[in-house]
Structure formats: C-alpha cells, structure tokens
C-alpha cells in the first residue's frame, strides 16, 4: 500500500480552519480545490487532478464551461431571485424542456436538490393516497437523500438508525428482485420508489425488464411508481431519462445533480393523475427553481444536445469498458456501468486505499463501498483523459495490493 502524500502547506492550513469551525458530519476532507477547467481541477497547492467524480455526478459539463459561465453571468446580472410569488422566463422554459422528455408530457416542480425532489415526490404520494393507503415500498441499498422523508425510504439501516423514528411505514425489499417486489406490493401500498440503477449502492444495474416489471406490479394494485433519476438522469447513463429509454413512464420522476452542472437545482416530473395532486398551498420552495439555477440547467440541456454528449458519453463509456476488460490484475474482480457511470469491483475491501492511491497519482475517484470504486466524471471527459486513467489502472491496483 502506498503511503498517502502529506497535504501541502495551503491545504493543511485550510484543514485547520475547517476543523475549527465546521460540524463533524463530513470529517475533514483530504483536499482543498481552488479552480477547474473541463475535467481537470487544481488544489490550493497547485496540484492538478483528473476529476473522475464530478462532484458526485454533478459537474455534468465539467468546470468553467463557457456555456454555464455565460448563462449564469447574464442571468445574475439581470434577475437572480424572485421567490415563488412571481414567474420568470428561465423557469418556465426549463419546465417546458423537462416536461417534453416524458411521453405524453408532465407537470414540473422545481426545487433545490435530490433530497428536496424526493421529499416533494413523497408528499405527492402521501396526499394522493390520503386516508386510503400509506405504505411505501423501497429497496435495500437504495439512496434517496438525507432529509427525514427521503431518509425514510433510503435502504441503508446505518444511515436511518440514528434518526428513527422516521416517517412510514416503509417496507424494504432486495434490489432487482422482481418476485420480492411482487410479494411486498399489496393493496395497502401507496407507492414504490426505486432507482433505475443504484448509484450510491455502487452503480448496481438490475436485470433487463426490472423497471418494466415494477411498473406492471404497481399498476396491478393501483400504486404509484416513483423513479429516482437524481443520479441516472440528464446524460449520466447516456440517456436523458433512463426510465423512459427503457420504455417505462413513471408516475413521478425526480431529478437533480447533473441538471444544474454545479448550480443547485432539482426537479419533480409528474404524469397522469399524479401531476394534479399538489394544489395551491400544498408545497413550495423559496429558493427552488431560482432564475440563475434555471439558466444553468437550460445551458446544460442545450449543450448536451448541441455537442452530441449523449452519444459521446456512450462511446467513451464503451471505450472504458473495453479497456477495463483488458486489465489483468487479481484485485480487479469485475467492472460494470452505463455511459460515464462506472464501478470497479475489487476482490478485497481496500477501496478507500485505492481512492487515496488514485488521488496521490492525480485522479479523483470515489470509494462508495469497501470493495467498490465509483467513477462519475464530467460528461465532457475526453478520450485522451479516459485512456490515461485506464492505462494507470494496473499500477493503481498494484499500489494497494
């Protein structure tokens, strides 16, 4: 195992300041970043890293993309905030673009991030089924956010336990197990909430037809299907919406992360009767869908379309898959993923050591599980940079063996 590089002078100074004032929920980060361009970032000591984490799948267009800089600069110089008591053009235009991604259209609620999107989705479920049903079925290993409502359907006991009792009732079933889902969903079930691919779970891909089966199971008992596309949506998997690409139209879709390319924004897309559940006074957000974040999101959608980034994401992802196939090292047990959303599965629980070795070598990755490394780089990641990481992978594996 490599010895972690000591932080530079400027980084160490910032760590001391952090420790003096910040709450302990994140620990002390090992790096302090100062700026970035494209898929590269620099720390405060001037060291260059290839960003293969993208702010946890957020920085969809990388760093300092001209389209985002221009859109945000123009908007903040014109109108930065209105509250929800007034309309603004970027918000309406964004809702129109998002609604058009869903066959048959949708209605849109704009919020601040993935957790608040899932909170709004759960309120739609609760009000729609008020007095009739209250149970929600979710999946083990799923992640939907840290607020109390979103946490209640997050399928990791260690995350939930310190904050119980949580809203409920919630039943958890193994992810990707159609029969377990079929047994759990009954006439008492208000909704099923799941991810088309589990991101925080380690980029876990279900078998073909899983989402369609969930749709059929919900329809059989009149339950709503809520699909969390906070991480999978807006190009991460090479599609606008992974659920729709698989031929499934959920009742509710939640989005965030890459939608704003670093600006805080989330969205809820509701279809059919679910789109009409929330009425004046039922829900709101002071900052949600503010003009600046909406301008950034519009720039994201336009740039992905104009630059052919969905096709680029699929092509670079396939290139990575072939390169990882060629790596012959006992520590690399397997790899999986879609588009620029990949997981390296290690044969030993040394993912944190791998993350450190990668950082010491100039690559930012994420040890999302003890044996799992997650890669979620900007969608603009170039072929040369993708190849550079693939070429370095055998040495990084050797460094922690």
Burial of 390 (0-12, 13-18, 19+ CB in 10 A): middle
CA distance 196 to 233: 10
Contact status, residue 114 vs residue 145, Cβ threshold 8 Å: yes
Catalytic member of 51, 113, 228, 251: 228
Residue 206 falls in which region: left (phi positive, over 0), alpha (psi -120 to 50) or beta: beta
Active-site residue flag, 127:
no
> Of the candidates 200, 196, 241, 240, which has an alpha carbon nearest to the alpha carbon of residue 374?
200
CA distance 354 to 338: 22
Catalytic member of 109, 143, 172, 389: 143
Catalytic member of 43, 51, 257, 324: 257
Active-site residue flag, 74:
no
Active-site residue flag, 228:
yes
Residues with Cβ within 8 Å of residue 327, at least 6 apart in sequence: 390, 393, 394, 397
Give the strand pairing for 40-43 and 48-51.
Answer: antiparallel
Residue numbers annotated as active site = 143, 228, 257
């Amino acid at each position: 195992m490599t010895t972690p590089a000591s932080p530079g002078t400027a980084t160490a100074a910032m760590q001391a300041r952090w420790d003096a004032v910040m709450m302990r929920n994140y620990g002390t980060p090992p790096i302090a970043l100062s700026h970035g361009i494209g898929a590269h970032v620099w720390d405060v000591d001037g060291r260059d890293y290839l960003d293969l984490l993208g702010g946890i799948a957020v920085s969809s267009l990388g760093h300092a993309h001209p389209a985002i800089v221009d859109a945000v600069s123009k908007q903040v110089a014109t109108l930065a905030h209105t509250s929800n008591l007034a309309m603004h053009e970027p918000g309406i235009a964004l809702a129109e673009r998002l609604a058009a991604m869903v066959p048959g259209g949708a209605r849109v609620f704009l919020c601040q991030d993935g957790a608040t999107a899932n909170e709004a989705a759960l309120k739609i479920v609760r009000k729609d089924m008020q007095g009739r049903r209250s149970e929600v079925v979710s999946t083990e290993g799923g992640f939907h956010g840290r607020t109390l409502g979103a946490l209640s359907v997050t399928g990791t006991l260690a995350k939930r336990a310190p904050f119980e009792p949580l809203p409920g009732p919630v039943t958890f079933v193994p992810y990707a197990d159609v029969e377990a889902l079929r047994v759990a969903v009954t006439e008492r079930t208000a909704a099923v909430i799941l991810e088309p691919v589990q991101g925080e779970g380690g980029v876990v891909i279900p078998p073909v037809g899983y989402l369609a089966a969930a749709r059929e199971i919900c329809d059989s008992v009149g339950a709503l299907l809520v699909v969390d596309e906070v991480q999978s949506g807006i190009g991460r998997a090479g599609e606008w919406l992974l659920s729709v690409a698989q031929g499934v139209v959920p009742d509710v879709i939640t989005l965030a992360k890459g939608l704003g390319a670093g600006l805080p924004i989330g969205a809820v897309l509701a279809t059919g009767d679910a789109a009409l559940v929330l009425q004046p006074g039922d829900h709101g957000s002071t900052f949600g869908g503010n003009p600046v974040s909406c301008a950034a999101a519009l720039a994201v959608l336009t740039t992905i379309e104009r630059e052919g980034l969905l096709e680029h994401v699929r092509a670079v992802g396939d290139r990575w898959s072939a390169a990882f196939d060629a790596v012959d090292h006992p520590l690399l047990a397997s790899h999986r993923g879609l588009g620029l959303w990949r997981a390296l599965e290690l044969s030993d629980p040394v993912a944190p050591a791998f993350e450190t070795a990668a950082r010491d070598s100039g690559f930012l990755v994420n040890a999302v599980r003890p044996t799992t490394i997650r890669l979620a780089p900007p969608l603009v990641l170039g072929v040369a940079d993708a190849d550079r990481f693939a070429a370095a992978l055998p040495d990084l594996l050797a460094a922690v063996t």
